[in-house]
A and B are shown apart, each in its own frame.
Chain A
């Protein structure tokens, strides 16, 4: 039997989903980003915007310029092409103040995992994470590669407000939430890094396919880092890929 993927799903009259699978999986994500890169290099006239996610690429297009049948054929052809080298992801070092008022769920996550809070911080900041996607809210960075011992289900009572810069765990994912928003994730800490800053160039720091590592910083440094980030300093450093 042939694989049902990649397959095309209808997302209305002006967008198609190219679906490579239905799981969180680095190989699926690699293929998503490969197709995205391919479309950037060999644009199809009429495509207006692409949105990479964990396991699919949403392709927005203008139906006055290209019809469903033609774009379907061309996307399927591109999606089945094998491994062209993709853009080398950058590697970001991101400071985090863990625990206390900065990460009010650190103790609960530790307790559930049968670890001390120091062990949770060591495991979380010792991880090597891949940016799978940016989505839902501006700059919301979804990271893969969480140590399975830290996996923690989402909260049953999502909080109506969680602060900008929150670094949290939702199931097997970890991530950086950039703006004040409701969230059901478990809050480990906060980073002063703004993955989204409308008054900075660039407005967005990270791209899907980048890598992230965290390093703990003491709460005493928060104010200075936060002020620098507000002024437009990325605060996160890019290290050699």
Chain B
């Protein structure tokens, strides 16, 4: 076993995998990576299952040191660079961190969340099949809270290799975030639904892993803003009394008492989660059949992500920017 020591980290740094399944009926939410595509890429680059645990980081700078042996890491997600001594580290690439050396990640230039994949994995005790941190529920392993300076992660030991790896992906599109209307779009006025779909929303700084708040014109409820609580999913867009939509994400409550005007489609959730505060977002409604076609294509992309990993040829990839 090698160790990864956290030298410094922003507040949104935590161990996350594909999330916790099977306990939403008890009020325990899934948590898990905000950007499941980037998680899959980070894992594929170090030979791990797409759903395995990685270190999720917000957009602030961070730094880590390898101890008791070398480690192989990968970077995916937000557009940022890292440095290991005099070497640069880029998104969608793996790299080797020798014992005693240190990785320094600059703040993200665009995007929100990055993932450090770890060859051999992060050691921990899963609960409901997951190591994901849910700070409110006191769950997550090895630490049931976000990571902070001084924390130590036990990880697989790796050996230097002749070449590192890269993952080739088409760049993400910039189109509107697609939604399926409902389950309670009928609790809003028809004008509110049309306003929701034509407005360029601004992402509020008061956004986190629980949900992203959107600022714009006030959406009007047809008949009050309280409903008898029903279930939430990742991507549920609820409209509370103030008429400003709130998109519920990984650390959402499992149920809620505000009408939900629409749900972000699975294939667009990762891209939505990478929107920075102050960023602009538009929504477009698609029929359920199209949403499911996209969901199946997205699932196939994740399942086949390892086939997009190839040896990194120095001098060609260097300097190329990430997916975001």
Chain A positions within 8 Å of B, measured between CB atoms, are 9-15, 17, 19, 22-24, 48-56, 58, 60, 63-64, 67-68, 133-140, 142, 179, 181, 196, 198, 203-204, 208
Q: Please state if A55 and B228 are interface contacts (CB–CB under 8 Å).
A: yes
List of B residues within 8 angstroms of A135 by Cβ: 27, 229, 231, 253-255
Q: Please state if B182 and A63 are interface contacts (CB–CB under 8 Å).
A: no
Interface flag for B236 (CB, 8 Å): yes
Candidates A11, A14, A48, A198; contact of B139 at CB < 8 Å = A198
**A173 CB to nearest chain B CB (Å):** 10
Q: Please state if B256 and A10 are interface contacts (CB–CB under 8 Å).
A: no
List of B residues within 8 angstroms of A60 by Cβ: 24, 233
Interface string of B224-237 (1 = CB under 8 A from A): 00011111010110
Q: Please state if A179 and B289 are interface contacts (CB–CB under 8 Å).
A: no
**B62 CB to nearest chain A CB (Å):** 27
**B30 CB to nearest chain A CB (Å):** 9
What are 28 A-B residue pairs whose CB atoms fall within 8 Å in the complex? A10-B288, A11-B183, A11-B231, A12-B235, A14-B266, A17-B183, A17-B231, A19-B230, A49-B22, A49-B25, A51-B231, A53-B229, A53-B230, A53-B255, A54-B230, A56-B231, A64-B295, A64-B296, A64-B300, A68-B288, A133-B229, A135-B229, A135-B231, A135-B253, A179-B137, A181-B136, A196-B28, A203-B127
A54 to B231, CA, bound (A): 10
Interface flag for B208 (CB, 8 Å): no
A67 to B290, CA, bound (A): 11
Size class of the B contact interface (CB-based, 8 Å): 35 or more
With a 10 A CB-CB cut-off, give which of A11, A60, A63, A64 has the most chain B CB atoms. A11
Q: Please state if B23 and A204 are interface contacts (CB–CB under 8 Å).
A: yes
Query: Which residue on B lies nearest to A141, using beta carbons?
Result: B27
Interface flag for B294 (CB, 8 Å): yes
Q: Please state if B26 and A196 are interface contacts (CB–CB under 8 Å).
A: yes
List of A residues within 8 angstroms of B184 by Cβ: 9
List of B residues within 8 angstroms of A181 by Cβ: 136
**A124 CB to nearest chain B CB (Å):** 22
Q: Please state if B25 and A50 are interface contacts (CB–CB under 8 Å).
A: yes
List of A residues within 8 angstroms of B255 by Cβ: 51, 53, 133, 135-136
Candidates A14, A24, A55, A138; contact of B27 at CB < 8 Å = A138
**B204 CB to nearest chain A CB (Å):** 18
List of B residues within 8 angstroms of A53 by Cβ: 228-231, 255
Query: Which residue on A lies nearest to B24, using beta carbons?
Result: A51
With a 10 A CB-CB cut-off, give which of A9, A23, A48, A208 has the most chain B CB atoms. A9
Interface flag for B323 (CB, 8 Å): no
Candidates B29, B236, B296; contact of A11 at CB < 8 Å = B236
Q: Please state if B138 and A179 are interface contacts (CB–CB under 8 Å).
A: yes
The 10 closest A-B pairs by CB, nearest first: A58-B231, A12-B263, A135-B255, A9-B183, A13-B291, A10-B182, A136-B253, A138-B28, A204-B26, A51-B231
Q: Please state if B182 and A11 are interface contacts (CB–CB under 8 Å).
A: yes
A110 to B129, CA, bound (A): 45
**A175 CB to nearest chain B CB (Å):** 11
List of B residues within 8 angstroms of A67 by Cβ: 292
List of A residues within 8 angstroms of B23 by Cβ: 138, 203-204
Interface flag for B180 (CB, 8 Å): yes
Q: Please state if B25 and A13 are interface contacts (CB–CB under 8 Å).
A: no
Q: Please state if A49 and B21 are interface contacts (CB–CB under 8 Å).
A: yes
A72 to B236, CA, bound (A): 20
Query: Which residue on B lies nearest to A137, using beta carbons?
Result: B27
List of A residues within 8 angstroms of B139 by Cβ: 198
Interface string of B298-311 (1 = CB under 8 A from A): 01100000000000
Interface flag for B264 (CB, 8 Å): yes
Q: Please state if B233 and A137 are interface contacts (CB–CB under 8 Å).
A: no
A208 to B254, CA, bound (A): 15
8 Å CB contacts to A: which residues of B17-61? 21-29
Candidates A12, A51, A204; contact of B264 at CB < 8 Å = A12
Interface flag for B181 (CB, 8 Å): yes
Interface flag for B165 (CB, 8 Å): no
With a 10 A CB-CB cut-off, give which of A24, A51, A56, A139 has the most chain B CB atoms. A51
Q: Please state if B254 and A136 are interface contacts (CB–CB under 8 Å).
A: yes
Interface flag for B260 (CB, 8 Å): yes
A37 to B255, CA, bound (A): 20
